[in-house]
Amino acid sequence: MNYRISNLLFVIFFVLLTACSGSPDIEIPEEIASLENLNVIEADADPIHSISLTPAASYGDTEDVIIGQMGQFSVDQSGRIYIADFSQNVIHAYESDGSYLRQIGREGDGPGEFRRVSAIRPGERHLHVLDTGSMRISRFTLDSHNFVDNLSVPFEFQSEGGFVSFPGNFHLVGDSYYLIHFGTGYSAAMDDSDVEPKDRGRLLNRSAGEFEEGFVYEFPISEAIVHREGTSMSVMSPEYKRRSITVVNNSRLAHGWSEELLFKFYDMDGAYQRAVWQPNENISLNRNEILQEYSDRDEPWRGMVRNDNMPERWPAYRHLVLDDENRIWAALYSDEEEMFNWRVFSEEGEFLAAFIWPESREIREVKNGSAYTRETDEETGLVEVVRYRVDFE
């Protein structure tokens, strides 16, 4: 059941909401209750639909094409798949049925060439490719995949705190802009800095080749363990740490902290729209099991985990996907070994579906009525992209 929470609730520490069906009251923390357009889903609510995922096609190595190291992949409106090959610095294109189409680009610094493909975004007429090795976005026609042009993407230096922000991902915003996602790198200057590093999104004007003023969003970075020794620094972010996750499609942006099922939706100008929250009891974390997982790691990594103040419970979820219908797909940690408990929510606050799914079949994109995973074939050991037809019943 959904509830709309007024701004007047800002001064209330906890709010008790009672469902019309006579279900138990829900205690809402003040910082959540104060959100405008908040939709609350009861902890024990049943999903509206059942869901099935049926294998439909796979994309990867063929008799003539060997992918050295599979990187990011994306899907266009006609269902064609584009897979980056990190080792060869090319993109492989496939028809929706899995048949191989062609290679796009090659390694190099010239027109239509790549140093490191970090993100691929198909638009209505062009395929847009972010190359963080050359700090530029290349465009190719969608029909023939011929090279069109390049646009340089500058990185940012934040003098406060000595942080350097690097473009790591991007999305299309209308016909005129790219939303560039900047992740903050660490530096030894953090030792004496009180400045909190942030992940940021900025609009890059395609025609002008310049950033618009201000940020579309600014969120604190995910928690990490930092070890300093002399002038060197080691940083790691184990799965049990609180993570800041931003997901985007071509019309919406959503953000969540992995510790709870609270998802905030924004438009592509960065204006807050609404939020969805469901109370969730996160599963317990066993410190000894974590230490065992890191027992074969070299120092300082093993010691960093051993000396860390671990939480008592895992975060609520590990992965988020925002599909082309603005639905949130969240992969919750589960008591079942090597399985995720996926839940699907609409941005209006409907609990649409839930299903158990193997961790090894991580859902990366949901589009055109299909879910796309990256997984390893058990028989051949090869990594491939697999498409599953999604049916809500």
Domain residue limits, the chain: 1-40, 63-317
Q: State how far the alpha carbon of 141 is from the alpha carbons of 95, 126, 127, 324, in Å.
A: 16, 5, 6, 22
Output phi, psi for 210, to 5 deg.
-130, 155
Residue 229 pLDDT grade (very low, low, confident, very high; cuts 50, 70, 90):
confident
Q: What is the pLDDT of residues 338-385, one digit of tens each?
A: 999 999 999 999 999 999 999 999 999 999 999 999 998 878 888 999
pTM: 0.89
* Cα dist from 364 to 14, 134, 234, whole Å: 36, 25, 28
Domain 63-317 fold is: Lipocalin (2.40.128)
As a 3-state breakdown, the chain gives helix, strand, coil percent values, each rounded to 5, of 10, 50, 45
- pLDDT number for residue 11: 33
Among residues 116, 125, 101, 237, which one has the least CA distance to residue 166? 116
Rounded Cα distance between 269 and 183, Å, is: 19
Both tokens assigned to 229: 């020794």
Largest CA distance in the chain: 66
Average model confidence (pLDDT) across the chain: 88
For 337, other C-beta atoms within 10 Å of its C-beta total 6
For residues 282 and 335, give the distance between their C-alpha atoms in angstroms, rounded to a whole number: 10
